Each structure stands twice: as structure tokens, then as C-alpha cells.
Structure 1
Amino acid sequence: MVLEATMIILDNSEFMRNGDYLPSRFSAQLDSVDFIFHAKTNSNPENTVGLMSMGGDGPQVLTTLTADFGRILAGIHDTKISKGIHFSTGIQVALLALKHRQNKVHHQRIIVFVGSPIDEDEKELERLAKRLKKNSVAIDLINFGEHEVNTSKLERFISIVSNHDNSHLVTIPQGPKLLYESIQYSPMFAEEGSSTGFATASGEDFDFGADPNVDPELALALRLSLEEERSRQARERERQETKSTLPKFEEGDDRGDGDGDFKMQDK
């Protein structure tokens, strides 16, 4: 499994108020961030994910690289819809955040939600793509909402930056599927070895007992249930490990002979 540090860039421009993706473009992104975070951390427990926005007055890092989903939720809570997007600047800020990752062994990846028109011209995008490739940074672009305007630019961008198909352009038109469902079955997660991007602790694919294509909500509920069970088991292991490190005393020793002395049991 690939050891990876991933920065997710949200589109928080005024275009995200549009309701053509249920329940809205903005909310659809937030559900997708939930899925992407768990898919990445479940594929390798040492993976880390960060979150930033690229709308408003300028890009903003909301959460630095972490394996704690609570911090991602806090970053989501701080995100506000405002103005347009800063596509190139946002990616450059994400590149800087990845450069300062603690574990330099981590492969670098940026995932960008693009639901607003991109103002940059093709020459500027080409320079940015070459810089990403030079720094061995993979990028996934989730193109939705304004795909008729952006697709040609983004196709050219991915063709330059991709190295052995390590980068992807996922164009998602309006439809009955939720945004995260389309991402789930896209080439972005093809290499995870599971259509859900989810594996058991033993490294084998988790059999939900239900076809995610038929009932994606059930599959998601089962995935979250398994996540809760893993957390419970982790807490139980930690409790047992803490208990095993405590000193053991011989029965009756705590009563002593009145002088408060006691003997530790030899291990």
C-alpha cells in the first residue's frame, strides 16, 4: 500500500451555492472529503490528509496534514463561501504544505475540487503542471459543475503533469448519483484494490454483503460501522497494553505487617 500525504483543496466560491449537485455543490464536496479521508487512511494507517480552501480573498490552509478526522471536521466548519477561486495559487500553497510534511517518505498528492470557472490561461497552467511533475507531486482534479468550461484546460493540465498515470481528471456531470459515489468508483481509487477504497485490518477487501452499485447508502453505513468497530478495538488494545504495564503485587502484600512495606512480584 502506498504511503501518501494528501492535501485536499475545496472550491468555496459563490458557485458552490448552486443546487445542481445534491444537496448543493458545497455540501456535496464536504461529503466527498469524508469519503476521501477515510479511503486514504484506511488504505494505509500512516497516511495523512490536509485540507485547504482556494476561494474568497485567497487560499487558506484549514488543517495541516493529519490522521485525525476531528481536525478535518474542524477545518470544514471554518470554511466559508466567498467570491471566486484562485486555482493556481491554491495548488502552489498545497505544494508548499506538502513540502513541509513530517515524513519525507510519504508520496505527495493534491486533490482539487473544481466547480467554478478557471481564470488562468493555458500557458500559466502548463507552467504549474511542469512544476508539479518536477517535484514528483501527483494531482487528482474533480471537475464538476462548470465542466463544459473547464474540461479542455484540465485535460491539457493532466496530460502534462501525469507520470505513469499517477494523476487523474474525474469529470462528473449532474446526475442521480451523489458526488462522492462518482469519486468512489473513479480511477482515483482504482489502485486501492477495492471499489470502496476500504480494506480490513488484515489487508483484505471488506465484503459488505451488498453491492455498492445497487445500494451505496447501505455500503457506506457498513463501512462506517466497521470504522467504529476498529476504533473500539484500538481503544481496547490500548487499555490492555496499559493494564499489562502496571506493577503486580502478591496477594496480601498490600496489608503488610503494619510498617507499610510491600513486595513486587518478580516477573
Structure 2
Amino acid sequence: MAAADPEVTVILIDNSERVLMHSEIYEAQQEAIKFYCKTKFKCNPENNVGLMPMAKHHALMVSPTRDLSKILRFLDIDVCYMGEVEAIRGIHGACSILSKSPLHMKKRILMFVGGPINMHIGDEDEYGNYLKHQGVALDVVNFFLVDIAFACSSLLFGEYCYARRELGELVTIVNDNGNSHIVDVKDESSVIKILSDSILKDHLHYIEKKTAADAEASRIQFVKPESKNESAADDEYFQAPGTEYVKQYPAKKTPHIDSKIREDLSRCRIGKQGLDPSHNEKNQKPMLKQVLELSHNDKNRFKLLQNMLEE
């Protein structure tokens, strides 16, 4: 089965103070990133994932890699949670990293949002067209849901604001034949299921099919490889899982005796023509001689019995 197309993904992490204060969002983001990376790496051996925090003044990041231990260490130890989310800065930084990826690889941004961001009305058009021009797909996992009827004005119109509508429009503009998504996570404990049913749905389907194909291939035990010295049709080979081919030699076949010859033998036995009816070696040849006399007019029968007599 052909592997899925190789892809480089930059994950934009929400490392704002708000996420740190809400432990359920912090833990859900950690688990989602780990699950996403493991799934990506299973799909294609060329897939790479990088990490970039979006909070202000955070300079540390992980360049695209396949080293899962490096990614996990960064998530657990190296990420500092402070300030507010600079979403625009994150998009520019991710595109800069993706521009250095090999030409044959697809490019993607996965953005986690757990609070207010610096995106306002009109930004979605500018940055949506920018991402589309760069050939970058966009997935957004949004933990921040607010009832705007009860939201304060600073949350709706401040420098860092509630931007669910803008994020939705951004994904719509970037989307190219279903390659971009936005999902809302109301219950943080369901984030893995939400990813499995949306952003990673095709990836998991591919992994399932590949696993089934590999299992089917491992159940194939009998093959007939080409042989230089013998016809493959004459030999049978057995392969137990995890072992080399073992040649199976066919059991010796019982010679076919013509029905007419069987009748001649029967007549000799029934007629008791001076022979002991037992089938010991001493009496076999005298009996065959008498059968030869009965079969001398049939060349084929005569030849077969003559060979048996000479053995």
C-alpha cells in the first residue's frame, strides 16, 4: 500500500497565561499534540512536525523533526506560559519555517487557541490569502468559546479578543478541497475523539487499512518461488512467520496398478494356483510369474508386471 503524501507541519502552541491557569485546557492541548504527532509519524516515514509557541517574547521552538522524544521534552519542560497569544506573529513564523521544507512535501499549520488572540475583523482576508498563496493548509483547534451576548467589550474589541468568527473565516479562505479544518472543543476530555473524527480522520483510516494489509500479508505461508535446478511446480515451500523458507519434500506416492492387472492378481489368489495366499516376500515373485503368463498378450500390463518382478 502506498504511503500517504509526505507533509511538514508546524504546530502553533497557545502558551498564554490563561491556558496555564486552566489546567484542563493545558492538559488537553498536551495530549492532543502528542496524539497528532504519533499519528503523523505512523502515516509516512517522511512526515515531520515542528513546534512554535505563540506567546509574546517566547523565542524557543522545535524545528521540524521526527524525534518524538524531543517534541515531548519540549512540551513538558521547555515551554514557558506567559502573556497573551500573538496569532499573527505565529502565522508568519510558521510560514517562514515551512518555506524551507523540501518542494515535494506538503505544508500545514496546526493552531491551538485557548484564549483571546490578536486577530481582528479584516485580518482573516489578508492572512487567508497569504496562506493560500504560500500553499499552506490550516487546521485550528479552538478551546475558547464565549457567549458574546454576555461578553465584555474589551473581550470583543480589545487588542487581544475573542476571534472565533475570524478564525472560521480564515480557515474557509485557506481551505482547498477540504484540506483545512476548524474544530471547537467544549469538553476538553473529548479532544482526542474530536481530532480522530475530523482533522486526523483520513490519517487514521489510512493507518487502519495499512495495518490490515500488513496482517494479511503476514498470514501468507505457502509460496512457490522460482528454482534454477527444479521446476517450481514440483516443490512446495513453507514459510512460518519470522523464519526462512523450508523445503517440504512430497511423500512417496503409491504406484498405480491397472484394474486389469488387479483382476489378474485376484484370479491368481482365488485360483490358489499352487501358491500360499499369504503376501510374504517368498511368494510374491512366483505369483507375479503366473500373472505374467496371463497378461502376455497385453504389452502395457506385461511391461509393468515385468518391472515389478525384477525389483
Instruction: Give the TM-score category using the shorter length.
Output: 0.5 to 0.7
What pairs up with 1:125-140 in 2 under 5 angstroms? 125-140=124-139
Q: What residue ranges of structure 1 are gaps of 5+ in the alignment?
A: 207-267
Equivalent position of 2:200 in the other structure? 189
Report the alpha carbon displacement of residue 98 of structure 1 after superposing the two structures with TM.
0.8
Structure 1 pair 204/167, CA: closer, same or farther in 2 (3 Å)? farther
Distance 1:146 1:50 in 2: 27
Q: Sequence identity, in percent?
A: 26
Higher helix residue share: 2
- 1:14: which partner in 2? 17
- The amino acid that maps onto 1:80 is C
- For 1:217-262, what per-residue CA distance to the aligned partner results, in whole angstroms no more than 9, with x for missing partners? xxxxxxxxxxxxxxxxxxxxxxxxxxxxxxxxxxxxxxxxxxxxxx
- What one-letter code is carried by the residue in structure 2 that aligns with 1:53? P
Q: What RMSD, in angstroms, separates the aligned Cα atoms of the two structures?
A: 2.4
Structure of larger gyration radius: 2
How has the CA–CA distance of structure 1 residues 189 and 131 changed in structure 2, closer, same or farther, with 3 Å as cutoff?
A: same
In structure 2, the gaps of 5 or more residues are 148-161, 216-311
Does the CA-based 8 Å contact 2:119-2:163 persist in structure 1? no
Give the SS at the match of 1:42.
helix
Which whole-Å CA distance do the structure 2 matches of 1:3 and 1:122 have between them? Answer: 34
The answer to whether residue 29 in structure 2 is matched with residue 29 in structure 1 is: yes
Structure 1 length-normalised TM:
0.68
Partner letter of residue 84 of structure 2?
G
Q: Give the conservation status (yes or no) of the 8 Å contact 1:52–1:62.
A: yes
Per the TM alignment, residue 104 of structure 1 is displaced from its structure 2 partner at its CA by: 2.1
Aligned residue identity for 1:30: Q
SS in 2 for 1:140: strand
1:154 deviates by 1.2
Write the letter of the residue equivalent to 1:108.
K
Q: How does 1:93-242 map to 2 (within 5 A)?
A: 93-101=93-101, 103-146=102-145, 148=147, 149-174=162-187, 177-185=189-197, 187-194=198-205, 198-199=207-208, 204=213
- Asked if the contact 1:54–1:90 (Cα under 8 Å) also holds between the matched residues in 2, the reply is yes
Give the C-alpha shift of residue 164 in structure 1: 1.1
Offset at residue 70 of structure 1 (A): 1.4
Q: CA deviation at 1:181?
A: 2.9
What residue identity is the alignment partner of 1:2? D
Aligned length: 198
Please give the TM-score of this superposition, normalised by the length of structure 2: 0.59
Which AA in structure 2 matches 1:15?
A: R
CA contact (8 A) 1:41 1:67 kept: yes
Structure 1 residue matching 2:109: 3-state secondary structure: strand
The structure 1 segments of at least 4 consecutive aligned residues displaced by more than 6 Å after TM superposition are: none
| Higher RCO by CA contacts (8 Å cutoff, separation 6 or greater) | 1
Q: Secondary structure at the match of 2:83?
A: coil
Deviations, residues 145-191 of structure 1 (Å, cap 9, x unaligned): 3465332111111111111111001111136x342332222x21122
Shift in Å at residue 61 of structure 1? 4.9
Q: Distance in 1 between matches of 2:138 and 2:21?
A: 25
Equivalent position SS for 1:24: helix
Which piece of structure 1 moves more, 36-45 or 166-175? 166-175
Q: Distance in 2 between matches of 1:56 and 1:98?
A: 21
Asked if residue 3 in structure 1 is aligned to residue 6 in structure 2, the reply is yes
